[in-house]
Amino acid sequence: MSPSNTLFQTLWKIYNRPAKPTPWATGGNLPWNDPAFSERMLREHLDESHGAASRVERERAAQIDWLWERLRLSAGARLFDVTCGPGLYAVEFARRGCAVVGVDFGPAAIDYARDLARAEGVSARCEFLRQDVRRMHGVGGGFDGAILLYGQLAVMTRAEAQSVLAQIAASLKPGARLAVELLNPGRVDKTDNTWWFTDETGLWGDTPFLHLGERFWLPDENLSVERYQIVHLETGEMDEIQLCDQVYPPDEMAAMMRDAGFSAVEVIPAWGGLPLYDADEWLVYLAEKG
């Protein structure tokens, strides 16, 4: 089929799209495990011109200092990094003397994390597992602390999030702490919205593309659903991606943590005042294993 005919069919499909997407119908997450997408996402993680995938080095350093203190870590401690990405946090904790197990879905991210650990001379203290954190296995236990950063718990259903919290709690020693970063519900955009842009290359492709975005706020479910339709202009083909972002009021998340096996939960706004460009957008939940 010629690109023009493919583009015609793509445009017709966009025109006839459902008025609203069904939440979680396609998993509700980005295609982290797709090799090509994973490579493009890795570029974003390593791009120091923005903090939209991983925060810039200066901000990470401030977070790591804060987490080191609040998780009561020390050299020789064991740390569990859930959704570790390319290991930018995990390897720094290993440089400070921690033994770290990191789990992530993205193949390029895990490969980079392993290479980074070797380059920093801490590979003996780092283990990186390529797994979907919703179905973790072989992680082990006896951890002295755990982190789950940048809102990744929110891209799971409530049931999946509850299961992941329970798995983390089971992996921790009594008295060990978990730090979870989630969007502050008071700062979440709860309006429906549409936007579009074009680019030569970027997260959505390595050739020119048109990005059509839609956001739907579902108040009864406290859920944001974004639908991205990516038209690849050289071929006329389209990718459709749906991203669900579950918003949790602090009382609900604290209750879920207690149900998972944590006896104490502290909610800390804006990273306790750390100088992060988007600090006000976030809450940190600091939970202690019972």
* pLDDT tens-digit map of 230-249: 999 999 999 999 999 999 99
Q: Are residues 143 and 197 in the same domain?
A: no
Q: Are residues 156 and 241 in the same domain?
A: no
Q: Which amino acid is at 185?
A: P
Domain count, the chain: 2
Mean pLDDT of all residues belonging to the chain: 97
pLDDT, tens digit (0-9, with 9 covering 90-100), for 52-75: 899 999 999 999 999 999 999 999
Q: Which amino acid is at 79?
A: L
Q: Are residues 153 and 179 in the same domain?
A: yes
Q: State the average pLDDT over residues 143-157.
A: 97
Full domain range(s) for residue 252: 35-185+247-289
Domain end position, chosen among 246, 266, 281: 246
Position 1 pLDDT exceeds 90: no
Q: Which helix (H) or strand (E) holds 198?
A: strand 193-199
pLDDT of residue 262: 98
Put residue 83 in one of left, alpha, beta given phi > 0 → left and psi -120 to 50 → alpha.
Answer: left
Q: How far apart are CA 90 and CA 126, in angstroms?
A: 8
pLDDT of residue 64: 98
DSSP summary character for residue 167: H
Q: Are residues 116 and 239 in the same domain?
A: no
- Closest of 118, 48, 125, 141 to residue 93, by C-alpha: 125
Its pTM stands at 0.96
Q: How far apart are CA 126 and CA 112, in angstroms?
A: 13
Q: Are residues 47 and 168 in the same domain?
A: yes
Q: Are residues 71 and 154 in the same domain?
A: yes
Domain end position, chosen among 246, 262, 278: 246
Beta strands 193-199; 78-82: pairing state: unpaired
Q: State the average pLDDT over residues 215-234.
A: 97
- Are 79 and 99 within 8 A, CB to CB? yes
Domain end position, chosen among 211, 229, 246: 246
Q: State the average pLDDT over residues 178-206.
A: 97
By percentage, how much of the chain surpasses pLDDT 90? 97
Q: How far apart are CA 129 and CA 34, in angstroms?
A: 16
pLDDT, tens digit (0-9, with 9 covering 90-100), for 97-125: 999 999 999 999 999 999 999 999 999 99
- Are 168 and 81 within 8 A, CB to CB? no
By percentage, how much of the chain surpasses pLDDT 70? 100
- Closest of 285, 275, 22, 261 to residue 154, by C-alpha: 285
Position 211 pLDDT exceeds 80: yes
Q: Are residues 241 and 254 in the same domain?
A: no
Q: Which amino acid is at 222?
A: N
**Coil, strand or helix: which one is 78?**
strand
Q: Are residues 260 and 138 in the same domain?
A: yes
Q: Are residues 60 and 151 in the same domain?
A: yes
**Coil, strand or helix: which one is 247?**
coil
pLDDT, tens digit (0-9, with 9 covering 90-100), for 21-32: 999 998 989 999
Q: How far apart are CA 153 and CA 257, in angstroms?
A: 12
- Are 98 and 77 within 8 A, CB to CB? yes
Q: Are residues 212 and 196 in the same domain?
A: yes
Reported confidence tier of residue 4, pLDDT bands at 50, 70, 90: confident
Q: State the average pLDDT over residues 173-185.
A: 98
pLDDT of residue 3: 76
Q: Are residues 53 and 151 in the same domain?
A: yes
Q: What's the CATH code of the domain at 163?
A: 3.40.50.150
Q: Are residues 74 and 181 in the same domain?
A: yes
